Structure 1
Amino acid sequence: MSAPQRVSSFRGDLEGIRGIALVIILFTHLIEWPTGGFVALDVFFVLSGYLITGLLLREYRLTGTISLNGFYRRRIRRLMPSSMLVLVVTALAGLYIFIFSRAVSTLWDALWSVLLVSNWNFALNGTDYFATSLPQSPLLHFWSLSVEEQFYLFWPAIVLALLVLGAGVRHARRRSAGGPQSIRPVVVGIAVIGLLSFGWNLFQSDLNPQVSYLSTLTRIWELAVGALLCFVTPLAQKIPAALRPVLAWAGFAALLVVAFLYTPALHYPGYWCLVPVAATVLIIVAGIGGPSHLVITTNPVSRYLGKISYTSYLWHWPIFIFAGVLFGKESPIYLFASIPVSLAVAALTTRFIEDPIRHSNWLEPQKRSRGHRHHHRHRHHKANRQHGQRVKVSLITAGATLAVALIAVIGIAPQMQKSSIPVASAVGSGVSPTSTAAPGTDTIATEESRLSAAVSAGLNTADWPDDLTPALDKAIDSRAPQWVDDNCLDTSEDNYATCIYGDASLTKTAVLLGDSTAISYMPGLVPALNSLGYRVRTLTHGQCPFANVQVLGQAENGQAAPGFPGFCDDGRAWSIQKTLEIKPDLVVITDGEDQTGAMVVQGDDARLRAMQAGMEDSLTQLSSLTAQFSILASPPHAENVAECATRINHPSDCTSTIDDNWFKLLKVTKDAAASVAAAQNRTVPVIDSSLWVCSERSACPAIAGKTIIRADRTHLTRQFAAGLQDILKLEYQRILGVS
């Protein structure tokens, strides 16, 4: 087996396919369509493996070795200037736009990106790349760049070692420099690396999909596939000219199909990425040794997009994030200006930063020979002077930008922290959802009026109050203490004995069934029921509805998250059995609004019918109890204050409206309760919580008075939930018929 004589050359079609892949990514990241646009990253990985390995082999064929220093210098000139510029600008923008905690998080993300381990930072922190409902880092996209940079760091040494091994195998032939040499060890070594990575990818994708998606170990096989294509040149050159367009267009069609058919619910990469990898292989092979006539990639537009694809990828995500935060993801500016702005900024960066530095002699060793310098001066003096001027300007600009960034971090950050993290005031300052009236004088109507006044105050507040409770930076950490501090969200035999609230002298027992939305009521529900003589026991499970329906966990469609739906099915059965054993006096049930979107059953109407039947089934399983049943509706979803709040916007920018799905879910819940009540000759009241957190016009503010309502889109802050104590007490006094 001998080394290929021509392992790499410039290919306009490959530059064009980069442009097509870029467009797919841009639209997927902007509007989440096509749903499987993430497959474009597989294209980039395979192309990188092919092109970089080709360059290494070509250098070895020409010089008999691979200069690791030279390779790293070229990669630094190619990648570092633009990436450092984006990191500095993004970190600065975060400091001036984000609330302090998110700004600091962005700074840390920038640091990990500089260290080339961004993907491991996000993987170890439990980041879900597809969780677009959560606050996302404006540097999240650097994970894929870190994968490639880690590849660049180790791959040249691996290839060189394998080539040296091959040279040793053929040493007996005493070949001359540039003569035939064995590449079998190289091919076998790359294939083994690829197979090991692919095997780990299959295992990790089922075990932990979030980590698998971001991991270098599960992606290296895609780069290895591209590397192996460098050794098929002799065979690819024999492909008939008539067959080349067929292969190229088949690959392109396959790539488009999976881009539109795949969804984030897949356990990716797994087996699923074989299709986009194979599609990229077809496109590459079709153009080896002859034109593939894939005009969609060889036209000037696609090729130019491919030329600026690196800088476009760098800029697009932070621009999308900041545009979404500042203008809203439904605004025309976000929808129609984000992509053009990203491409324009990328084009300018390529022209004035990337190209001048990449073609300069920056980092190249200086020649010491006077004769060589004299010869070099006469041949390249003019070109070097031009390059030197460009590099000088670029480096001065980059240095000034970095200096400003450091000054901002060191000098401005402490003041920003003081101004962007309000000092929490005592509950009751301003308009608060907590009642201050004397016991016994309130009715449900007057308490709802008090809550309505707080909601109205939140809707009409022009600026973020200085004494918010909790502070904006602490909202995400202010979920119910029963969840965060006591670890009683997922109840099992291990924590069953400790997840009970109220003095042992209380003679009655209430159980709470449902998911994390149920437990978010606990700061107000526990004191309300304690005051009525009930100890409260949690029998909840995160992401698991009380209604007997199968759910997929975090996924909305497609495959289930690891352990689902079995985790919920087993947890529900255990909770119902425990409830039957306890024989409580009161059963409180809450299922979150998002459970309908996570069901195995597909179709909105089918899911609502299944939810009603599932609620009836679970309630029927408890029919032997004499307890009073009650269903406490979940708060309607709203904007995530940790994501939408900034230093330069207003509370009104975080106002949302109740989704129709919430009203439909409330209706089927009431229908299920009425059906069971009629069959069992009991009452099953459903408490409508919408007016506690939203106005009669279904407008849902981020704050009520001076209290932040939700820790995220779904769960109440512990401070706001505690303020619901009075209304919950009044509701259960009515339900239980006590005073």
Structure 2
Amino acid sequence: MVTRNQLPESKSRQQYRDDLDGLRGIAIALVVAFHVWMGRVSGGVDVFLVLSGFFFTGMVLRRTDTTGSAGIGPTLRRTGRRLFPALVVVLAAVAVATVVARPYTQWGDTSAQLLASGFYFQNWYLATAEMDYASPDPSISPLQHLWSMAVQGQFYLVILAVIALWARLRPQSDRHRGLLLTVLVIVGLISFRYATIGAAQHQAWTYYDSAARVWELLAGAALAVAAPWISIPNWARWCAASLGLAMVLSCGLLIDGASEFPGPAALFPVVATVALILSGMHLSSSERPWANRLLAGRLCTELGAIAYPLYLWHWPILIFYLAETGNAHAGFTDGLIVIAVSIVLALATTRIIEAPLRKRSTPVPDTGRSAKYRTGVGTLVAAIGVVVLASSLGWQVVSRTNPAEPPQALEPNEYPGAAALLDGIDPPPAPMRPSVFEGQADAPPPTVDGCITPNREVRTCTYGDTTAGRSIAVVGGSHSEHWIPALELLSYDYDFRIVTFLKEGCPLVLVDQPSYAEAPFPECREWSEEVLDRLAQDQPDWVFTISTRFRPYNDGDEVPPEYFDVWSALSDRGMKVLALRDTPRLRHNGVFYKAVDCLAQRGTTPVSCGIDRAVALDPRDPAEGPAAAYSNIFPLDLNDAVCRPDRCHVAEGNVLIYRDEHHLTASYARSLAPELGRRIAMITEWW
């Protein structure tokens, strides 16, 4: 390490880094290929984050060194010309494609995500919605990938404000540049610690959390601040370049970033990018190590030139293709077509829109058109952006001021629901209730009042006859929760109260990563252990929970081995268990789909939108055999009240069964109350 004043003048100035343009090209190639063919996170986005922090911070610092000011206005205008035009075009294309090709039940969510993407808070929208960054399939949003753009945009605003304040307050000395570096490093370390804890406890949220991602951007920003003082021996440069390139290329093969980033595993692509930045720093193109010169080659730099629009285009093209074909993933040939279309659109976006708007004094490449053309393009893009965002805002205002209200009670002769299957009732034709717009809102009480927790907190609530002496504890995740409307009706008739211990996505489990989970979820184990202790203390008469789960990679259902440990733990605490077989989940070729979305498409029916029973369920309840070894486990199976012998429809007796891919509507759950009550009575002998 040496001071800036000790460096030769040639090293104190930053040389143009065409090798980093090429690194962007390699990163986007990995992102696209892994998304299209492997359904994994390649680490390419993390490379982008580090490079964004380095380039943007370096640009602002150079302006500060030259003018004494961060130039907030000019910097924002330049950044806006770089980011907004291509983004607006892609958002407009997604809006049109959604209206034309997707069910109208998706328009509301898409309009919300258009606003979130256009105003750079898509990452928070996704985090709040608890959307795991899963492999691409038709159920995934075509705008989900824009979370990273939101994180970068938020970082640009914050780092610009920090440097502007620093430039205003600092004396002109390198010692105060060191102070800025110290601040960035400390904040980066805090962010990394936060990401490490978050990735281990609640990775689905942490993946999108700006506070957990900023350390990656700050790694690049710190390099930009420290650049004048950095001097590296040639042998170290060659080692760093070779190792860095190998790490970038292998990251997606070695690490599944979707389940591990932005925790410590993200150090792999971040360190690789830092190594490649350092290896070529303060050197001319010909002096750089072989890996940097390879990255500076034409193929890599040409890809780098279209990296941003290619990133914007490839994901929605892939998602709309999968949605139209119903496939879970793209094959080799159709994947090539998706990539080719994305590249063509990226090139067109760059040449027709980005280039003329980014360089006002330069004519459009290959056309010779003047500023009049650029003005026209700018006006058109601005108009498109206003129309898209205004329309999305209008849709949100209308839908939120006129929300769909789920039915509170349905006339049983016209809407028998489950009784149509159990008692052979053939109701007269009537509009399905809840409707496709009401379905999502027809939820059980804990979803409405917040008594199902999204985090580590153990929340407990009481429903039904709250003064009754007898009690049933409903325990687990949302598939235990969606039976509460039926239990409420029984509670008033048969004198018991319902006490809930519910956590989103968390059946009781005593290991960090059960066999059915794609990633560790220690928060669920910790919550389960506390719930078991609370049950032992409260001693409810019965525990009501789910006993089976769908097979993720095959047909039918099963009892995960981790459930047996929970059964034993409940037995040790003297708990008697009503172990209910889980209800079927709607999926086709391994892809989950919402009942309301299917019904909103032309030519579909509750029958065609259903699923074959043999695909969803084993012939017999898988819990029957294992439960015989536990004196406290009493299996219940009500799937004959949900499915016919050959097929599970999405509506029965004029009542919609599913409010999404796998949760019962409260209306249908209430129609199940008589049969559920009959089964509980046979076990408990309470009535």
Q: TM-score range by the shorter chain?
A: 0.7 to 0.9
Alignment match of 2:290 (pick from 290, 293, 315): 293
Counterpart in the other structure of 1:353: 353
**Counterpart check, 1:635 vs 2:619:** no
Alpha-carbon distance, 1:298 to partner:
4.0
Counterpart in the other structure of 2:626: 672
Alpha-carbon distance, 1:324 to partner:
3.8
**Counterpart check, 1:214 vs 2:208:** yes
Alignment match of 1:271 (pick from 264, 281, 302): 264
Q: Structure 1 pair 211/566, CA: closer, same or farther in 2 (3 Å)?
A: closer
**Aligned partners of 1:226 and 1:246: how far apart in 2?**
19
Give the conservation status (yes or no) of the 8 Å contact 2:191–2:213.
Answer: no
Alignment match of 1:578 (pick from 530, 538, 558): 538
Alpha-carbon distance, 1:569 to partner:
1.0
Alignment match of 2:526 (pick from 566, 574, 579): 566
Alpha-carbon distance, 1:738 to partner:
9.4
Alignment RMSD (CA, Å) = 4.8
Count of paired positions: 659
1:279-304 Cα distance to aligned partner (Å, 9 max, x none): 10111122231233227634443332
Counterpart in the other structure of 2:194: 203
Give the conservation status (yes or no) of the 8 Å contact 2:322–2:330.
Answer: no
Q: Structure 1 pair 692/252, CA: closer, same or farther in 2 (3 Å)?
A: farther
1:412-454 Cα distance to aligned partner (Å, 9 max, x none): 9999999997997955587852437xxxxxxxxx71766xx99
Gaps of 5+ in 1: 170-181, 363-379, 437-445, 458-464, 598-604
Task: Flag the structure with larger Rg.
Answer: 1
Give the conservation status (yes or no) of the 8 Å contact 1:8–1:55.
Answer: no
Alignment match of 1:260 (pick from 253, 272, 280): 253
- Normalised TM-score (structure 2): 0.79
Q: Secondary structure at the match of 1:130?
A: coil
Q: Structure 1 pair 328/553, CA: closer, same or farther in 2 (3 Å)?
A: same
Counterpart in the other structure of 2:484: 522
Q: Secondary structure at the match of 1:499?
A: strand
Alignment match of 1:611 (pick from 560, 563, 571): 563
- For 1:287-436, list aligned pairs within 5 A: 287-288=280-281, 289=283, 290-294=287-291, 297-330=295-328, 337-361=337-361, 386-395=369-378, 397-398=380-381, 401-402=384-385, 405=388, 426=410, 432-435=416-419
Q: Structure 1 pair 726/218, CA: closer, same or farther in 2 (3 Å)?
A: closer
- For 1:649-660, list aligned pairs within 5 A: 649=602, 650-651=604-605, 654-656=609-611
Alignment match of 1:151 (pick from 139, 143, 155): 155
**Counterpart check, 1:44 vs 2:48:** yes
Q: Quick check: 191-200 or 103-112, which moved more?
A: 103-112
Q: Structure 1 pair 139/695, CA: closer, same or farther in 2 (3 Å)?
A: same
Q: Which amino acid aligns with 1:570?
A: E
Give the conservation status (yes or no) of the 8 Å contact 2:257–2:265.
Answer: no
Q: Quick check: 222-231 or 45-54, which moved more?
A: 222-231
Alpha-carbon distance, 1:536 to partner:
4.1
Counterpart in the other structure of 2:243: 250
**Counterpart check, 1:687 vs 2:644:** no
Q: Secondary structure at the match of 1:712?
A: coil
Alignment match of 1:54 (pick from 55, 58, 66): 58
Alpha-carbon distance, 1:26 to partner:
2.8
**Counterpart check, 1:87 vs 2:87:** no
Q: Which amino acid aligns with 1:713?
A: E
Alpha-carbon distance, 1:139 to partner:
3.1
Give the conservation status (yes or no) of the 8 Å contact 1:66–1:156.
Answer: yes
1:359-397 Cα distance to aligned partner (Å, 9 max, x none): 2249xxxxxxxxxxxxxxxxx999997242431442354
**Aligned partners of 1:610 and 1:590: how far apart in 2?**
13
Alpha-carbon distance, 1:546 to partner:
7.2
Gaps of 5+ in 2: 587-591
**Aligned partners of 1:142 and 1:265: how far apart in 2?**
15
**Aligned partners of 1:221 and 1:544: how far apart in 2?**
29
Counterpart in the other structure of 1:601: none
1:654-702 Cα distance to aligned partner (Å, 9 max, x none): 54456979649942x222211124xx8xxx55233334334444x5443
**Aligned partners of 1:588 and 1:165: how far apart in 2?**
63
Q: Quick check: 307-316 or 612-621, which moved more?
A: 612-621
Alpha-carbon distance, 1:494 to partner:
9.9
**Aligned partners of 1:542 and 1:381: how far apart in 2?**
56
Give the conservation status (yes or no) of the 8 Å contact 1:56–1:66.
Answer: yes
Q: Which amino acid aligns with 1:572?
A: L
1:246-282 Cα distance to aligned partner (Å, 9 max, x none): 3222112223444334345756434333332111011
Give the conservation status (yes or no) of the 8 Å contact 1:195–1:221.
Answer: no
Q: Percent identity over the alignment?
A: 22
Q: Structure 1 pair 382/611, CA: closer, same or farther in 2 (3 Å)?
A: closer
Counterpart in the other structure of 1:538: 499
Q: Which amino acid aligns with 2:222?
A: L
Q: Structure 1 pair 279/257, CA: closer, same or farther in 2 (3 Å)?
A: same
**Aligned partners of 1:676 and 1:154: how far apart in 2?**
58
Alpha-carbon distance, 1:566 to partner:
1.6
Counterpart in the other structure of 2:145: 141
1:683-731 Cα distance to aligned partner (Å, 9 max, x none): x55233334334444x544333543322333321101111212332343
- Normalised TM-score (structure 1): 0.74
Q: Structure 1 pair 234/685, CA: closer, same or farther in 2 (3 Å)?
A: closer
Q: Structure 1 pair 632/31, CA: closer, same or farther in 2 (3 Å)?
A: farther
Give the conservation status (yes or no) of the 8 Å contact 2:418–2:652.
Answer: no
**Aligned partners of 2:529 and 2:264: how far apart in 1?**
27
Q: Secondary structure at the match of 1:330?
A: coil
**Aligned partners of 1:573 and 1:75: how far apart in 2?**
54
Give the conservation status (yes or no) of the 8 Å contact 2:105–2:437.
Answer: yes
Q: Structure 1 pair 258/344, CA: closer, same or farther in 2 (3 Å)?
A: same
